[in-house]
Amino acid sequence: MHRRWIALALALTFSGMTQAYDPPRTAPAPHASADASDENLWLDDIDGAKPLEWVKERNAATVSKYASDQAFKTLDARILEVLDSEAKIPMVSKIGDHYYNFWRDKQHPKGLWRRTTLAEYRKDKPAWETVIDLDALSAAENENWVWHAAQCLKPDYRRCLVSLSRGGADADVVREFDLTTKTFLKDGFSLPEAKSQVAWMDEDHLYVATDFGPGSMTDSSYPRIVKEWKRGTPLSSAKTVYEGKKTDMSIWAFRDRTPGYERDFVSRALEFYNSETFLRGKDGKLTKIDVPNDAETDVEREWLLIELRTAWTVGGKTYPSGSLLAANFDDYMAGKRELVALFTPDEHTSMSGHSWTRHHLILNVMRDVVNEVHILTPAAKGEWKSAPLGDAPALSTIQAVGVDADDTDEYFLTVSGYLQPTTLYYGVLGQGGREALKHSPAFFDASKYVVSQHFATSKDGTKVPYFEIAPKAMKTDGKNPTLVYGYGGFEIPLQPMYSAGVGRAWLEKGGVYVVANIRGGGEYGPRWHQAALKANRPRAYEDFAAVSQDLIDRKITSPKHMGMMGGSNGGLLAGNMLTKYPQLYGAVVSQVALLDMKRYTHMSAGASWMAEYGDPDKPEEWKYIQTFSPYQNLHKGTKYPPVLFTTSTRDDRVGPVHARKMAARMQAMGFDASFYENIEGGHGAAADNKQSAFMNALAYTYLWDHLR
């Protein structure tokens, strides 16, 4: 469970979030952080009859007030039309000789896992072969399956481990699937529902990290033991490879099956930004890759890449935070420290990701939150050659990724912007230009709007960038309904991307849409993120307030007409803007949020984020955490703007209890707090397109009703 993947999953808003499910749960046992004065502890019983009755009553009230008229139904239908559109780009990944895609539309609400050839994919309407029909499978097995992933065994790619979730949380079941016969194997590898990590060793062996019974999971609700499991034997007989501590975040193992470079690795995440990776020898001996624990490592063929989160002095040289370093893996493990800096950030740049092809490394770099792509090629004597692949159009995003690092220098490239529908290109590095394969349709008339980038000055003098999408004919009279969106956590940047939902639900009505690139995110690499960690978390909220105030000073809007929205960590942002800066907003929407920071480490997967927020069970850390815990910072007599809390019963990552309790306390205090909890959907708050359309339509309708 790579921490970058976890962070991305946390950051995505629920219209595009990975969705998953958790089995029925009961009220947690009391613990040290339980507050005897907390009148809403009874809502912790997630599937209890009384709490669910409370949920249904609040849901009904919210639907009656905001989701029952014709205007809402029209918007709901228009958002669903986008999500179900057959004209969307079917993004693919290469597995063997085919290109695979998971697809949902009106006829297939749960989705199809399907495949085609590159020749067919080039066509406007490719011929697809269905591999798994999730709707048919759900009907046959009387389950509400939600797709998670498929992991296929190379080099022949005949067998796959398919992960499916019931109704939508992070916990899933794993079943072995045959790509040749397109059937699940009756006697194949199979794991019951859990937050598992599995990986192929060979056709008859797996690395398995799962719930092996009492004591086998960490406090963060992830596996702490990884084992080697042989085909045809019971899971109980699997051989332990590595056992971490209960206080660790998670443990997993995998085999790199790149031909000629087969290696086994074990990873131990001590906390979110602190991990150890070991090379596992044929004798089972583990040798730690000697890099800083907060660095990310990537091993590809002969190369070791090291991405630094803090400055590192090695071999007599200091490399700054945010650098990407390369070394020969075998030489490095033998003790040599011959490193090459492939990327070094400056005040305006940071790395947003990298991807391998057979002979090249693709670097996606941000300059003031706008992408540029560089191609690096290993040369003689440890040198690397660099050449640009292309820059993004003004205020948009360009991203490239290798198609198959084992066999080819092919790559896919996407270009997207707030007003620019995504275009997918295909090319081969070293062979000249690229071809446009697919164009996403325009779902709204972008010619009426303009995108601009601005910089607000935060409380400590830091310049904070933000993007503004507004009507060309906008009057700067302070009366424009304006929605400010933010996230600000886990080193995740918010980059320009096309959103048909924003266009249809907000821009077409005459609203202004703003994305704030506040600290805590990854817009300027680790330094931007670390500036808002733990005791410095309020800087993120100061940044967001500065952006909001700048919009007022520029007469784009005013508090009466300005709202804000955020999900997950962004939902915590929303809770703090509500409680710390209520005078700035006319309405707030907080989605699948953390809100009770006193008890968050004891709720769902909360313990895994102590590196981000701190440990509230330590008095010295609770001292600063309580300053950004919205649930504890509600006060009678304060004038709060109207707020909508949305969540999901099946969210086993953040959990619905935060939103339940916050809404309950505010309502008891007499404040205007609306609430809606989707029974399905996991951390994405929606298990299919129909639910996603409803949740998005509800949020935008709520905001428009209060801000117009």
Choose the weakest-confidence range: 12-16, 433-437, 606-610.
12-16
Q: Let me know: does 499 contact 537? Beta carbons within 8 Å.
A: no
Per DSSP, the three-state class of 200 is strand
Q: What are phi and psi of 416, to 5 degrees?
A: -150, 155
d(CA 79, CA 200): 39
pLDDT band at 326 (very low <50, low <70, confident <90, very high): very high
10 pLDDT more than 70: no
Q: Which of 561, 683, 692, 706 is catalytic?
A: 683
Question: What single-letter amino acid sits at 704?
Answer: W
392 pLDDT more than 90: no
pLDDT band at 468 (very low <50, low <70, confident <90, very high): very high
**pLDDT, tens only, 659-695:** 999 999 999 999 999 999 998 766 776 678 999 999 9
**pLDDT, tens only, 560-578:** 999 999 999 999 999 999 9
- The dihedral sign for the CA sequence 288, 291, 294, 299: negative
Q: What percent of the chain has pLDDT over 90?
A: 89
d(CA 443, CA 423): 14
Q: Let me know: does 544 contact 564? Beta carbons within 8 Å.
A: yes
Degrees (nearest 5) of the Cα angle 166, 171, 175? Answer: 70
17 pLDDT more than 50: no
d(CA 517, CA 531): 13
Residue 275 falls in the annotated catalytic set: no
d(CA 612, CA 490): 7
pLDDT band at 543 (very low <50, low <70, confident <90, very high): very high
Q: What is the pLDDT of residue 8?
A: 38
Q: Which domains does the chain have, with CATH numbers?
A: 49-80+443-707 (3.40.50.1820)
**pLDDT, tens only, 72-98:** 999 999 999 999 999 999 999 999 999
15 pLDDT more than 50: no
Per DSSP, the three-state class of 160 is strand
The chain-wide mean pLDDT, for the chain, equals 93
H/E run at residue 57: helix 49-66
29 pLDDT more than 60: no
Q: What is the pLDDT of residue 686?
A: 66
19 pLDDT more than 50: no
Residue 683 falls in the annotated catalytic set: yes
In sequence order, what DSSP letters do the residues of 462-508 get, joined into one string? -EEEEEEEEETT---SS---EEEE----TT--------HHHHHHTGG
H/E run at residue 274: strand 274-280
Q: What are phi and psi of 84, to 5 degrees?
A: -90, -5
Overall size of the chain counted in residues: 708
Q: What is the pLDDT of residue 13?
A: 36
Q: Which of 568, 604, 608, 674 is catalytic?
A: 568
**pLDDT, tens only, 486-517:** 999 999 999 999 999 999 999 999 999 999 99
Q: What is the pLDDT of residue 30?
A: 38
618 pLDDT more than 80: yes
How is residue 642 written in tokens? 């109207």
Q: What percent of the chain has pLDDT over 70?
A: 94
Q: What is the pLDDT of residue 682?
A: 65
Q: What is the pLDDT of residue 27?
A: 34
**Buried-exposed string 162-186: b where 16+ CB fall within 10 A, e elsewhere:** bbbbbbbbbbbbbbbbebeeeeeee
As a whole number of Å, the CA-based R_g of the chain is 25
23 pLDDT more than 70: no
264 pLDDT more than 60: yes
Angle between helices 569-580 and 3-11 (to 10 degrees): 50
Q: Please tell me the pTM assigned to this model.
A: 0.92
Q: What is the pLDDT of residue 112?
A: 98
pLDDT band at 208 (very low <50, low <70, confident <90, very high): very high
Question: What would the mean pLDDT of 538-542 be, rounded to a whole number?
Answer: 98
Q: What is the pLDDT of residue 7?
A: 40
Q: Let me know: does 603 contact 657? Beta carbons within 8 Å.
A: yes
Per DSSP, the three-state class of 93 is strand
For residue 155, cis peptide bond before it (omega within 30 degrees of 0): yes
Choose the weakest-confidence range: 51-55, 206-210, 391-395, 702-706.
391-395
Q: What is the pLDDT of residue 685?
A: 64
